[in-house]
Structure 1
Amino acid sequence: MAFPDIQSFMRLLEERGELVRVSVPVSRELEITEIADRLVKSGGPAVLFENVVGSDFPLVIGLMGTRERTALALGVSDLDDLAAKIRHLIDLKGSGGLGGLLGNVGKLRDAMNLPPRRVRSGPAQEVIWRGDEVDLDKLPILKCWPQDGGPFVTLPLVITKDPETGERNMGMYRMQVMSKTVTGMHWQRHKTGTKHLEKAKRLGQRLEVAVALGGDPALIYAATAPLPPVPGLDEFAVAGYLRGQRYPIMKGVTVDLDVPANAEFILEGYVDPQEDWAMEGPFGDHTGFYTLPDLYPRFHVTAVTMRERPVYPATIVGRPPMEDAYLIEASERLFLPAAQLILPEIVDYHMPPAGVAHNLVFVSIKKTYPGQAYKVANGLFGLGQMMFAKVIVVVDEDVTVNDFVDVWREVVEKAVPGRDTLTTRGPTDVLDHSSRGWGYGGKLIIDATTKLPEEVGSGVSSREEQGHDRAGESLFTPSPVADLPNFDGVLAQRQTPDGYWYVALDKTRPGQARELAEAFAAHPAASGVRHLLIGDEQTDVGNAQDLWWTILNNIDPERDVWTLSSVGSGLLAWDGARKLPEEGFVREWPPKIEMTPEVQGRVEARWHLYGLPEKWR
């Protein structure tokens, strides 16, 4: 199903009970975030806030806040159907005579929906602000979290054009409002927008920019998708293929850029590469931690166009799960066939919400030879934005990769610390606050596949000489202990039945986590444990997702994951505690995102006024 715009999608959601209206006045500063955060974590509906204090425009949030709504937005019954849709397109028949050629007709017709369709005008230009009329404060732009540096545009479709080739790009980059006509532009060093700006600087010219808010949901998704560098494939093309018809675009009013004709708002302007960059942030980011202030380019808004009755679309990011988890899952499904073209042994892969996209990847493979798990993991590190992956866990083909507990159980049973773990280095997400350098750090591969004889140091030269297909190695069996050991600084701890020990550590001195790990490895309790997971003082050891989220954010695997000899069969210790300057960590350690008790209390007290059911509270 194709949606002309987000308002038509909103109407369908409302008919299905998946969108509710809140008519009482709400604040764009923190209150909407607290409401939306509760709803997305409880599987609640999208919300249309009809009365945002200080703005004449309504705000909608959570349009793709569940797996089901995301699938509906992208025109499929289930997100798994995206992989089949792409596999159908790329599996063109190259033989078989006339019958084979005719078999491609339907696929070629689908491919024809890729190029956008140019129109003379569209709803997004029904109202135009120019000059002194431009005032971003009139839009209901959210201040999402207490320590944010200001209001941020959180769902922008940022459009630029290569100054030399004319190639279009659209990306989603947060934008901090700095004045009525200026925002920051969070172009990170690996992003295409940065490359376009660098070219404009070399040519001595400004870079024109257009920012669309809205469009149809497929385009909003496409702006987040990590597209491969294929000529002619851009975000408009992806949206056109997903919606089954060519996407309508038109020229901007004051910029020579193609913009979506069905957007709600479009901000037009420029970035001057000769201008000093502005300090942007902090920002409560998708990692669940604040991104600390840094310098980024300024975007000058020279015109705003909009519908006669527009709706401002927004999202929030923060501690998982959030709405972006479903957009990430959509990208998984969409690009699985492409990954399988390059690495055909891949059966499936998944990026769990606890890993906030890049921090953790589970991949299952059809294994036929020794070392294949490392081959696949290293191959993934070379695929587009997968280069930012921090921890890759490889399992057998019969393991369900989106079963978080089952995968970590496989790790305990089949991955011997040291023998089946490998650290390396490479690019990291610039939002990774724990890496050894900005955008550069350690990575970890865990081979949790069933081992072949050559992989266990048996000394047998072939499987035939061994007499069977597998090494016959006995699996590690976790064993519980009656009493928990008492170590300095441990605020809470828990042993799981599947071979993990969870710890919340109040770290007060350098090297404390390492001391804890070594003491634990020598303790009898370690005999039934393969992984010691050390979180920070805020970690909830009763919540595995919270613990893994903390640890994956707080480690550079080369520095913070240690293989230790223990009274058992070896121990892998994960140091997810805060790193100190005395330990050589020179950057400031960011805080976790938390809402203020005052705002939480206000929302709690007003919940009945919003008209929202108690089950989503």
Structure 2
Amino acid sequence: MAFPDIQSFMRLLEERGELLRVSAPVSRDLEITEVADRLVKKGGPAVLFENVKGSDFPLVIGMLGTRERVALSLGVQDLDDLAAKVNHLIDLKGAGGMRGMLGNVGKLRDAMNLPPRRVGSAPVQEVVWRGDEVDLGKIPVLKCWPLDGGPFVTLPLVITKDPETGEKNMGMYRMQVMSKNTTGMHWQRHKTGTKHLEKAKARGERLEVAVAIGGDPALIYAATAPLPPIPGLNEFALAGYLRGERYPVVKGVTVDLEVPANAEFILEGYVDPHEDWVMEGPFGDHTGFYTLPDLYPLFHVTAVTMRKNPVYPATIVGRPPMEDAFLIEASERLFLPAAQLILPEIMDYHMPPAGVAHNLVVVSIKKTYPGQAYKVANGLFGLGQMMFAKVIVVVDEDVKVNDMGAVWRMITQRAQPGRDTLTTRGPIDVLDHSSRGWGYGGKLIIDATTKRPEEIGSGVSSRDEQADDVAVELFEPHAAADLPGFEGVLDQRQTPDGYWIVTLNKTRAGQARDLAEAFAAHPAAAGIRHLLICDELTDAGNIQDVWWTILNNIDAERDVWHVGDLLAWDGARKLPEEGFVREWPPKIVMDQGVVDRVDALWHVWGLPERWR
């Protein structure tokens, strides 16, 4: 199903009771974030704010805030259907004579929907601001979190063209509004936009840029998808395939770039590669922590085009789960067949919200020989953006990868610390604040598959283990005060499946290691396989908060180690005395004053009490 534009999708959501309208005034400064954060975490509806203070344009948020709405937006009954759709396309028949070739006709017709379709005029060019008319302050760009450096465009589709090859690219890179006609351009070192900018600099040219805001859901999703570097395969092509028809594009009014004809707004302009970069941030990012200020290129807006009655679509990122978790799940389903082509033993994989995409990947395999778990994990590290994965857990095919309770149990039952864990190094997401270097750090593979005879006794642990699952002892909780040498422990919780969770106020170097050594030697360690050390702001009773903190705060090679049969994870903040030279960022927390104000205005906005 192809939606003509974002507004048609909004109308369908409203018909289904999945979109609410708020006509009372609302501030774009933090208030909308607080509402949207509550709704997405409770599976609530999208919201159209019709009266945003300081702007004549309405704002919609949360359109893709559930798994079901993402599936609806992409024209499938369920996100699992995306894998079947891709399998249908790539499983071309080459045998069987004429009959076999004729079986490909329908698939080739689907593939013909890939190239975009140029149109002569477009709704997005009904109104044009040029030169001094450009004023980004008139658009209801959100300030999302209290420590943000300013308002950020959070759902931009940034379009560039390779100066040498003409290959097009679209990506979603946050854009901090710096003035009425400039923004930051958050192009990280590995992004295609950065490569285009470097080529433009070598040629002594400016790089033309167009930023679409809106379009339709398929294009918004496509801008987030980790496409492989195949010539001719770009985000417009993916959106065309998902829509089942070629994507309509129109030439920009001031730039030589094709832009989506059905967008709500287009920002046209350039980045000058010879210009000094500007300080951008902080920004409350998808990791749930603030990305600290850094230097990035400046985007100059020379024209803004729009519909006569546009709607500004936005999203927020922050502590999971957020709207981006469902876009990540769509990518999981869409690219599963491609991963299986390269690693056919893969049965399924999942990137849970607590891992904020790259921090944790769970993969199930059909295991037929020893060492296969490591073969698959290392293969995944070499696949596109999977190179940024920090922890990969491999389980047997009988384990549901999205049942994290079952996954954690399999880790304690089938993965012996030291023998079935392996650390390595590689590229890390540049937004990762805990890695040893910018974009470089440690990785961890956990083999939680059933062991074959050749794999038993091959590790460093002295403990004997049978090929069958290991029985994990149950035990009574011990109060932290009863355990000697546990300096700085504020809270603790033990689970019957082998995890001991502590929150630690770390005040000196080596404190976490001392804790692990003391605990491993204590009777309370009986039955424990993993010691999870969290920072003092973690809720020890909330396993999602625990794993989100741990996975964000570790460099796997530096901060995960085994002490006998115990695997210790140091997810507390890192100190300068421990050799950590970068500034440690704060976790995202909304101002209490904003929380109280939203509570007071909830009924004024007409929002249902059950979502409050």
TM-score band w.r.t. shorter chain: over 0.9
TM-score scaled by length of structure 2: 0.98
Alignment partner of 1:313 is 2:313: yes
Contact persistence 2:289–2:585 (CA under 8 A): yes
Contact persistence 2:266–2:304 (CA under 8 A): yes
Shift of 1:231: 1.4
Contact persistence 1:535–1:551 (CA under 8 A): yes
Percentage of pairs with the same residue:
82
> Could you say which residue in structure 2 is the equivalent of 1:518?
517
Matched to 2:199, the amino acid is K
Q: Which runs of 4+ in 1 moved over 3 A?
A: 470-474
TM-score scaled by length of structure 1: 0.97
Structure 1 stretch displaced more, 204-213 or 604-613: 604-613
Shift of 1:482: 4.5
Shift of 1:471: 6.0
1:222 match: secondary structure: helix
Q: Please, which of 596, 605, 609 is the counterpart of residue 601 of structure 1?
A: 596
2:603 match: secondary structure: helix
Q: Distance in 2 between matches of 1:556 and 1:504?
A: 18
Structure 1 stretch displaced more, 475-484 or 432-441: 475-484
> Could you say which residue in structure 2 is the equivalent of 1:466?
none
Q: Please, which of 570, 575, 582 is the counterpart of residue 575 of structure 1?
A: 570
Superposition pairs for residues 390-405 of structure 1, below 5 Å?
A: 390-405=390-405
Alignment partner of 1:354 is 2:354: yes
Contact persistence 1:155–1:315 (CA under 8 A): yes
Q: Distance in 2 between matches of 1:472 and 1:68?
A: 41
Contact persistence 2:477–2:493 (CA under 8 A): no
1:64 match: secondary structure: coil
> Could you say which residue in structure 2 is the equivalent of 1:329?
329
Matched to 1:451, the amino acid is K
Q: Distance in 2 between matches of 1:408 and 1:126?
A: 54
Q: Distance in 2 between matches of 1:181 and 1:16?
A: 38
Q: CA RMSD in A?
A: 1.0
Q: Distance in 2 between matches of 1:604 and 1:102?
A: 62
Q: Distance in 2 between matches of 1:551 and 1:482?
A: 21
Contact persistence 1:377–1:445 (CA under 8 A): yes
Q: Distance in 2 between matches of 1:376 and 1:174?
A: 33
Matched to 2:147, the amino acid is Q
Structure 1 stretch displaced more, 503-512 or 16-25: 503-512
Contact persistence 1:373–1:449 (CA under 8 A): yes
The CA deviation string for residues 246-305 of structure 1, in whole angstroms up to 9 with x for no partner, is: 000010000000100000000000000000000000000000000000000000000000
Shift of 1:98: 1.2
Shift of 1:484: 3.1
Superposition pairs for residues 579-594 of structure 1, below 5 Å?
A: 579-594=574-589
> Could you say which residue in structure 1 is the equivalent of 2:369?
369
Contact persistence 1:10–1:63 (CA under 8 A): yes
2:160 match: secondary structure: strand
Q: Distance in 2 between matches of 1:3 and 1:403?
A: 33
Q: 1:472 to 1:429 in 2, by over 3 A?
A: closer
Shift of 1:528: 1.0
Q: Please, which of 586, 607, 610 is the counterpart of residue 612 of structure 1?
A: 607
Shift of 1:584: 0.2
1:608 match: secondary structure: coil
Alignment partner of 1:430 is 2:430: yes
Contact persistence 1:485–1:525 (CA under 8 A): no
Q: Distance in 1 between matches of 2:458 and 2:275?
A: 64
Q: Distance in 1 between matches of 2:429 and 2:467?
A: 40
> Could you say which residue in structure 1 is the equivalent of 2:472?
477
Structure 1 stretch displaced more, 159-168 or 488-497: 488-497
| Unaligned ranges ≥5, structure 1 | 460-469
Matched to 2:610, the amino acid is K
2:304 match: secondary structure: strand
Q: Distance in 2 between matches of 1:457 and 1:429?
A: 35
The CA deviation string for residues 466-513 of structure 1, in whole angstroms up to 9 with x for no partner, is: xxxx96345141321342343221111000111101111111111111
1:532 match: secondary structure: strand
The CA deviation string for residues 350-409 of structure 1, in whole angstroms up to 9 with x for no partner, is: 000000000000000000000000000000000000000000000001100000110010
Superposition pairs for residues 161-560 of structure 1, below 5 Å?
A: 161-457=161-457, 472-473=467-468, 475-486=470-481, 487-560=486-559
Q: Distance in 2 between matches of 1:69 and 1:322?
A: 14
1:275 match: secondary structure: coil
Shift of 1:457: 2.5
Structure 1 stretch displaced more, 571-580 or 481-490: 481-490
The CA deviation string for residues 182-228 of structure 1, in whole angstroms up to 9 with x for no partner, is: 00000000000000000000000000000000001000000000000
Contact persistence 2:480–2:489 (CA under 8 A): no
Matched to 1:45, the amino acid is P
Q: Distance in 1 between matches of 2:609 and 2:355?
A: 30
Matched to 1:492, the amino acid is D
Contact persistence 1:452–1:471 (CA under 8 A): no
Shift of 1:135: 0.3
Q: Distance in 2 between matches of 1:458 and 1:31?
A: 56
1:304 match: secondary structure: strand
The CA deviation string for residues 316-351 of structure 1, in whole angstroms up to 9 with x for no partner, is: 000000000000000000000000000000000000
Matched to 2:277, the amino acid is W
| Unaligned ranges ≥5, structure 2 | 460-464
Q: 1:575 to 1:334 in 2, by over 3 A?
A: same
Shift of 1:585: 0.2
Contact persistence 1:414–1:476 (CA under 8 A): no
The CA deviation string for residues 25-64 of structure 1, in whole angstroms up to 9 with x for no partner, is: 0000000000000000010000000000000000000010
Contact persistence 2:366–2:396 (CA under 8 A): yes
> Could you say which residue in structure 1 is the equivalent of 2:462?
none
Shift of 1:99: 1.1
Matched to 1:436, the amino acid is R
> Could you say which residue in structure 2 is the equivalent of 1:123?
123
Matched to 1:77, the amino acid is Q
